[in-house]
Every structure is written in structure tokens, then in C-alpha cells.
A and B are shown apart, each in its own frame.
Chain A
Amino acid sequence: GIQVEQSPPDLILQEGANSTLRCNFSDSVNNLQWFHQNPWGQLINLFYIPSGTKQNGRLSATTVATERYSLLYISSSQTTDSGVYFCALHVRFGAGTRLTVKP
């Protein structure tokens, strides 16, 4: 079946730092997405990015479909960025990266 692997599993940052989260996948991509799960459990759509690069404020994402990976960049992190970040391919979710941003 489809494998989706995320790294790192946990990440602790000081406010203002930058970070890169990685998602490797085993299948051809036509619907890769990044989500942020906030402390209340809600899944927030960040990017729908089967290929190329997108930016939204301090967040950006790049998917290299030919090499089967996607990256999520968070710049100038804030405490409100804390939570779990998931990538998902088709119906398969990765295990997530738990981000903690300290003031």
C-alpha cells in the first residue's frame, strides 16, 4: 500500500526560528496535502500541493513529485504554530510532526 513518512517526529523551536518538515511518499502523487492540527483537534488545510511551490504568509510548501517528497517551511515561527503537522497522500496520512514553539 501507499507509504507516507514524515520527519522529524518531534520538533522544538524558539519563537522566531525557521523550520523545515519533510514528507516522503511511495506512490505517484496527484493530491498531496499538508494539514495543521491545532490543540483543539481541528484539522486545518494548509496546502493542496501535488507539485510545485506555494506560499501563504510565513508558510510555504514544495512538492517534487519525481523524487516523491514534499517539504513544508515555516519561517519566523510563533507560539500559535504549535501543534501537529500532517501530510496526506490520497487517503493515507503520515504519522505527523509535533511542533512546539517556545516563547
Chain B
Amino acid sequence: EAQVTQNPRYLITVTGKKLTVTCSQNMNHEYMSWYRQDPGLGLRQIYYSMNVEVTDKGDVPEGYKVSRKEKRNFPLILESPSPNQTSLYFCASSPLTGTGNTEAFFGQGTRLTVV
């Protein structure tokens, strides 16, 4: 089954404790990205990657890191989480064509709480 898998689904952590949210896709998509969703602010892109070893900032990259060492995986790293990073996070992947990324597939979401 074609899917994007995020882990964990729920996470409560303390300020400053490094964490990683994993994302894996089995569709051989070139494009992967991370979003956060906050009440009143909608979904905003954090980082994206157009292929292995190619990553770039989205709209709200501060406080986050990503890596793309393999095509299927795109982990989101919070080196020193703070309470303002409490949010619902989504990973997405899509194929790339000559006109850009096309149909996006989203993971199930990770609900992160930083206390």
C-alpha cells in the first residue's frame, strides 16, 4: 500500500530535550516536506527536499533541522524544543515533474507537546 508513515503519532517532551520525528514514504517520490498546523494559522511549510541531499527552508524553518540521506526518509529534528513548537506536524511526499511537484500524499500527523 502506498503511504507516508510518521512516527511517533503522539509525543510529550520537555523543553530542551532533542527529538526526532521520522517520516518514510514507499512511493519513490522525489519531493518531501514538513508542515506544522496551528489554530488560526493553518498549515505552514517548515522545510522541503527535492531529492537526496537537497533540502531548503519553507516558511517557518526556525528551530528545526532536516536531513535527506535516503530518498524514502525525511526526518524532522528539533535540537532544543520549546513550548512554541507545540503543534500538529505533517510530513508529505509527491512526485516531481517538469512543472514542479504534483499530487501530495500526507502522513497521519504527529501531535507534539513541549512542556
Bin the interface of chain B by size. Answer: 20 to 34
Counting chain B CB atoms within 10 Å of each CB, the highest count among A31, A45, A88, A94 belongs to: A31
Q: Cβ of A33 < 8 Å from any Cβ of B?
A: yes
Interface centre among A35, A41, A91 (most CB of B within 10 A): A91
What residues of B have a CB within 8 angstroms of the CB of A43 in the complex? 90, 106, 109
* Residue ID in chain B nearest A93 by CB atoms: B43
Whether a CB of chain A sits under 8 angstroms from the CB of B105 is yes
Asked if A33 and B42 sit within 8 Å, CB to CB, the answer is no
How many angstroms from the CA of A86 to the CA of B43 in the assembled complex?
10
Q: Is the interface of B mostly helix, strand, loop or mixed?
A: strand
What chain B residues lie within 8 Å of A86 (beta carbons)? 42-43
B105 proximity list for chain A (CB < 8 A): 45
B110 closest partner in A (C-beta): A41
CA distance A51 to B67 in the complex (A): 34
Docked-complex contact A91 and B102, CB < 8 angstroms? no
Q: Considering the complex, which residues of chain A in the window 3-31 have a beta carbon less than 8 Å from any beta carbon of chain B?
A: 30-31
Q: Rank and list the top 6 A-B pairs by shortest CB-CB distance, nearest first.
A: A48-B103, A93-B43, A43-B106, A30-B99, A91-B45, A31-B102
Give me the interface of B with A, judged by CB distance under 8 Å.
Answer: 33, 35, 42-43, 45, 48, 58, 88, 90, 94, 99-106, 108-109, 111
- B-binding residues in A (CB < 8 A): 30-31, 33, 35, 41-43, 45, 48, 86, 88, 90-91, 93-96
